[in-house]
């Protein structure tokens, strides 16, 4: 898909990534995430039903899902668009990166504790945190996309985008182990490491095997790259980046509270 194409009644206007577009339907502009899922009826039903669960979520740091559907072998998730919105870039002052991460932790905590209409925990895990799913508005407010798991697995991406998403996997993801909310804590801490150090923790020249081995091993301390890195922030990051989930904070809200002490 490319700007100028029409899918499911949406005219694609601006490409933010190979699967994310600013689109127009009538007079309304929206964000559209397209995921190629083919024509398997069971898969379509499962994926779209899961996306509809996301429509019930309402939090200021989750970009609101306003419609889901299927057309031309693509699942379509339609998000609210705010003029001036942009994907997260990696050039950000340290204080802004910490503040943005705390905002995202609010949205993730909301997901982690979400319950269905009967009060049963949904046990949501985002599982795909990377710059490509974070939107900033003009005021700097951050919101998350992509909290419909099965759709994420099939969304198109360039090789560079796949590598970007890959480097923020948790050790348990890299090892094919079950995930819980502590996986998201690791991933958001890994992203904050990159933003506050000013370069990727996992360099792009690593092979896939080397990157997996690095993810499954102990994380490098930021002060090894930046000797003047704040000690308090390093301690908070390193706990969230513990290889074993039990060694991390018990929740992403606790991680955010620890970050709040590093803002001065």
19 — pLDDT class (breaks 50, 70, 90)? confident
What pLDDT is recorded for position 53? 80
Angle, helix 252-260 to helix 94-112, in steps of 10 degrees: 160
Task: Determine the Cα–Cα distance for residues 71 and 99; give it in Å rounded to an integer.
Answer: 38
109 CB-near residues (< 8 Å, 6+ apart): 251, 252, 253, 256
Stronger pLDDT, 82 or 237, i.e. the higher one: 237
Stronger pLDDT, 160 or 191, i.e. the higher one: 191
247 — pLDDT class (breaks 50, 70, 90)? very high
182 CB-near residues (< 8 Å, 6+ apart): 170, 245, 248, 249
What pLDDT is recorded for position 35? 81
What pLDDT is recorded for position 103? 97
What pLDDT is recorded for position 263? 75
Task: Determine the Cα–Cα distance for residues 55 and 87; give it in Å rounded to an integer.
Answer: 21
Share of the chain above pLDDT 90, in %: 57
Q: What is the chain's alpha carbon radius of gyration, rounded to the nearest angstrom?
A: 18
Residue range 107-154, pLDDT digits in tens: 999 999 998 889 998 888 998 899 989 999 988 899 999 886 555 555
What pLDDT is recorded for position 140? 87
Strands lying side by side in the sheet with 142-144: 86-87, 134-136, 142-144
Residue range 178-231, pLDDT digits in tens: 889 999 999 999 999 999 999 999 987 888 889 889 999 999 999 999 999 999
Task: Determine the Cα–Cα distance for residues 83 and 63; give it in Å rounded to an integer.
Answer: 13
Torsion of CA 177, 180, 182, 183, to 10 degrees: 50
What pLDDT is recorded for position 153? 52
Task: Determine the Cα–Cα distance for residues 184 and 108; give it in Å rounded to an integer.
Answer: 8
- In 3D, which of 81, 69, 88, 64 has the Cα closest to residue 14? 81
Stronger pLDDT, 170 or 166, i.e. the higher one: 170
156 — pLDDT class (breaks 50, 70, 90)? low
**Average pLDDT in the chain:** 89
Chain-centre distance for alpha carbon 61: 12
Kindly state the tokens that stand for 136.
Answer: 């900033």
Q: Is the per-residue pLDDT at 42 higher than 80?
A: no
What pLDDT is recorded for position 152? 55
Task: Determine the Cα–Cα distance for residues 141 and 135; give it in Å rounded to an integer.
Answer: 8
What pLDDT is recorded for position 30? 95
Residue range 70-99, pLDDT digits in tens: 888 888 889 999 888 888 988 899 999 999
């Amino acid at each position: 898909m490319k700007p100028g194409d029409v899918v499911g009644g949406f005219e694609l206007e601006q490409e933010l990534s190979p699967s994310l577009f600013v689109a127009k339907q009538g007079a309304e502009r929206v964000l559209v995430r397209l995921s190629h899922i083919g024509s398997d009826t069971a898969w379509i039903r499962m994926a779209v039903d899961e996306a509809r669960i996301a429509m019930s979520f309402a939090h200021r740091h989750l970009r609101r899902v306003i419609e889901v559907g299927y057309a031309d072998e693509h699942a379509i998730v339609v998000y609210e668009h705010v003029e001036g919105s942009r994907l997260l870039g990696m050039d950000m002052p340290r204080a802004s990166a910490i503040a943005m991460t705390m905002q995202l932790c609010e949205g993730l905590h909301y997901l982690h504790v979400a319950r269905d209409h009967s009060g049963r925990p949904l046990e949501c895990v985002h599982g795909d945190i990377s710059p490509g799913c974070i939107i900033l508005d003009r005021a700097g407010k951050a919101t998350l996309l992509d909290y419909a798991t099965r759709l994420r697995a099939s969304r198109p991406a360039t090789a560079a985008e796949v590598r970007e998403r890959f480097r923020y996997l948790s050790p348990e993801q890299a090892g094919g182990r079950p995930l819980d909310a502590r996986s998201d804590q690791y991933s958001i801490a890994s992203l904050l490491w990159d933003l506050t150090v000013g370069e990727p923790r996992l360099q792009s020249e690593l092979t896939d095997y080397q990157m997996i081995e690095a993810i499954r091993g102990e994380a490098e301390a930021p002060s090894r790259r930046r000797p003047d890195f704040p000690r308090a922030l390093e301690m908070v990051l390193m706990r969230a980046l513990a290889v074993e989930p039990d060694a991390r904070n018990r929740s992403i809200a606790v991680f955010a509270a620890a970050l709040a002490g590093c803002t001065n």
